């Protein structure tokens, strides 16, 4: 078994082991999260990054392909005749044409639970930064602003206490539920979007319509998958119903938000603030307007990247491959 970490990849293979190719492994293992367990299951070749026009060449001959954000379209799947299994190095699997894979009898697995705590923690970190501006105040203190004060304390912006405010959660899976429980511990009231408006199974958390959530929430946090139906649902119409002091947080998918409409709301003072870990195009161009928008925090799609979360992702991917090899695939999204 040979493990490649760059364009050269593996140069030899044993006939009794399946070939496993990872198309974009750098974010999962930038050097602190070894591939050893997965390498024990076959002949592993890891590419840090793969351009779209390199996918077929690099995955040619592989029975198992691992991808995070590198697309596997219908055409690419057609051009990989040896392909038998795809495991997505993430929870979202929209980068794979799962119907084309199903037609070929190729199971596609994902990793559904690895980052729950990491993403929830980052969501709360963004919320607290919007409330207390800790980074801004630290820079101000370092610049000497506190030292110049005639009083014993110093702050630049109003601070927001969360007790008794209402958090509206859109997307109430594992991450949304974890965020809700932390918010409750902070003394917040929690509502959630639910089409039928029920709160069954979650006592103390009221299910409401999207319009009600927009109108009642002091903080809105997005944790839903991206679908054709909810693409850009946070738009001018939605934002027009939101409280002018409300805060918007997105650690889900950037395309849930119409970014131009969000910019307009922030610029006009129709929204208290926004904190985004995701954007519609990633990485964004340097002149992306939300990077410089007023009352807007942007982090670089990092909520999932704690070492513990990435180790969980690696372990589950190992189990996905092992289960497939045992002809009992798990976490299949296209069965």
Which of 75, 103, 161, 282 is catalytic? The answer is 282
Question: Minimal CA–CA distance to 205: which of 221, 226, 225, 228?
Answer: 221
Given the residues 253, 259, 310, 318, select the one marked as catalytic: 253
CA–CA distances in Å: residue 327 to residues 131, 299, 315, 321: 50, 40, 18, 10
Can you tell me the distance from the alpha carbon of 170 to that of 195, in angstroms, rounded to the nearest whole number? 11
19 is catalytic: no
Q: Is 26 a catalytic residue?
A: no
**301 catalytic residue (yes or no):** yes
User: Could you count the other beta carbons within 10 Å of the beta carbon of residue 132?
Assistant: 15
- 29: Cβ–Cβ under 8 A, 6 or more apart, which residues? 35, 46, 310, 314
For residue 39, give the nearest of 16, 58, 53, 22 by alpha carbon. Answer: 22
User: Would you name the residues annotated as active-site residues?
Assistant: 253, 282, 301
């Amino acid at each position: 078994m040979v493990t490649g970490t760059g364009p050269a990849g593996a140069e030899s293979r044993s006939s009794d082991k399946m070939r496993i190719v990872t198309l974009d492994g750098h974010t999962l293992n930038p050097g602190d999260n070894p591939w050893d367990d997965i390498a024990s299951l076959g002949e592993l070749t890891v590419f840090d990054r793969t351009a779209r026009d390199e996918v077929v060449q690099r995955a040619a001959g592989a029975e198992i392909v691992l991808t995070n954000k590198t697309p596997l379209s219908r055409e690419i799947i057609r051009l990989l005749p040896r392909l038998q299994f795809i495991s997505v190095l993430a929870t979202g699997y929209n980068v794979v044409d799962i119907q084309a894979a199903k037609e070929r009898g190729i199971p596609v697995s994902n990793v559904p639970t690895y980052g729950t705590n990491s993403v929830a923690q980052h969501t709360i970190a963004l919320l607290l930064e919007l409330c207390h501006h800790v980074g801004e105040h630290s820079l101000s203190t370092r610049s000497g602003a506190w030292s110049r004060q005639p009083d014993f304390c110093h702050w630049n912006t109003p601070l927001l206490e969360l007790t008794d405010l209402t958090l509206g959660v859109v997307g109430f899976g594992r991450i949304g539920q974890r965020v809700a429980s932390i918010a409750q511990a902070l003394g917040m009231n929690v509502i959630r979007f639910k089409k039928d408006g029920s709160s069954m199974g979650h006592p103390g958390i009221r299910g409401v319509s999207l319009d009600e959530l927009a109108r009642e929430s002091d903080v809105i946090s997005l944790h839903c998958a991206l679908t054709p139906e909810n693409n850009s649902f946070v738009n001018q119409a939605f934002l027009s119903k939101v409280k002018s002091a409300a805060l918007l947080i997105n650690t889900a998918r950037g395309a849930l938000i119409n970014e131009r409409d969000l910019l307009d709301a922030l610029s006009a003072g129709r929204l208290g603030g926004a904190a985004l870990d995701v954007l519609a195009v990633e990485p964004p161009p340097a002149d992306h307007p939300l990077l410089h928008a007023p009352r807007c925090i942007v982090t670089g799609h990092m909520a999932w990247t704690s070492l513990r979360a990435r180790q969980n992702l690696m372990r589950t991917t190992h189990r996905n491959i092992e289960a497939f090899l045992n002809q009992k695939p798990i976490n299949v999204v296209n069965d």
